[in-house]
Chain A
Amino acid sequence: DTEVTQTPKHLVMGMTNKKSLKCEQHMGHRAMYWYKQKAKKPPELMFVYSYEKLSINESVPSRFSPECPNSSLLNLHLHALQPEDSALYLCASSPRPGLISGANVLTFGAGSRLTVL
């Protein structure tokens, strides 16, 4: 299995809703990432998990709450979002934390398209 699987593919939610995005990989990767991507823009890093522990939070608002229940799963809990949070949310994983290099590259999922009404 060489994939990162994200669900749901599409999500529409109101500003008062609570929802979650899910990411799964079975490649034995020990680093997992959440990125946010607006249309025709590059991905922006949100969070990094290293060995199931949060290692980087790029000053993301608390209405986004990440969780890493085990080495294969990564969740992003959403609460009280704003319309400007509508974007493609990408999950990625890499074999290990640390330097991104030829032997330690990111594999991205297909993303979850979030629309906040």
Chain B
Amino acid sequence: TQLLEQSPQFLSIQEGENLTVYCNSSSVFSSLQWYRQEPGEGPVLLVTVVTGGEVKKLKRLTFQFGDARKDSSLHITAAQPGDTGLYLCAGASGGSNYKLTFGKGTLLTVNP
């Protein structure tokens, strides 16, 4: 069974602060997705990383895929209240083609 350990599970910060969310596994993934989900809504895809060592930027969000494709991080610069939500990482591997292995999520609250 593949597991994705996501940390921290909860994070409450003030507007303007920086933060990093981590997603780690002992398994290799062919790709890893990051989603953001607001209460009562479905997850919205933020980014997909596929190449080891890849870095992608989406405005104030920076995503990195580890060289060995076993881990990923999401860094948010100067967080804003609108960044509040549940951040989920999800990995896909060739062994379970149809399945995404989800991390447990990071519930982020950015206070004004």
Contacts and interface: CB of A to CB of B under 8 A. Distances in A.
Chain B interface: which size bin? Answer: 20 to 34
A90 B30 contact: no
Interface in A99-117: 99-102, 105-111, 113
A48 interface: yes
Interface residues of A, number: 30
A41 B102 CA distance: 10
A92 B40 CA distance: 15
A106 B100 contact: yes
Contacts of B44: 108
Contact of B45 (A33, A42, A45, A106): A106
B40 A43 contact: no
Contacts of A43: 43, 88, 102
Given A40-B107, A100-B98, A102-B31, 16 more contacts: A4-B42, A43-B43, A55-B98, A56-B98, A97-B98, A99-B94, A100-B92, A100-B99, A100-B100, A101-B50, A102-B48, A105-B45, A108-B44, A109-B42, A110-B40, A113-B40
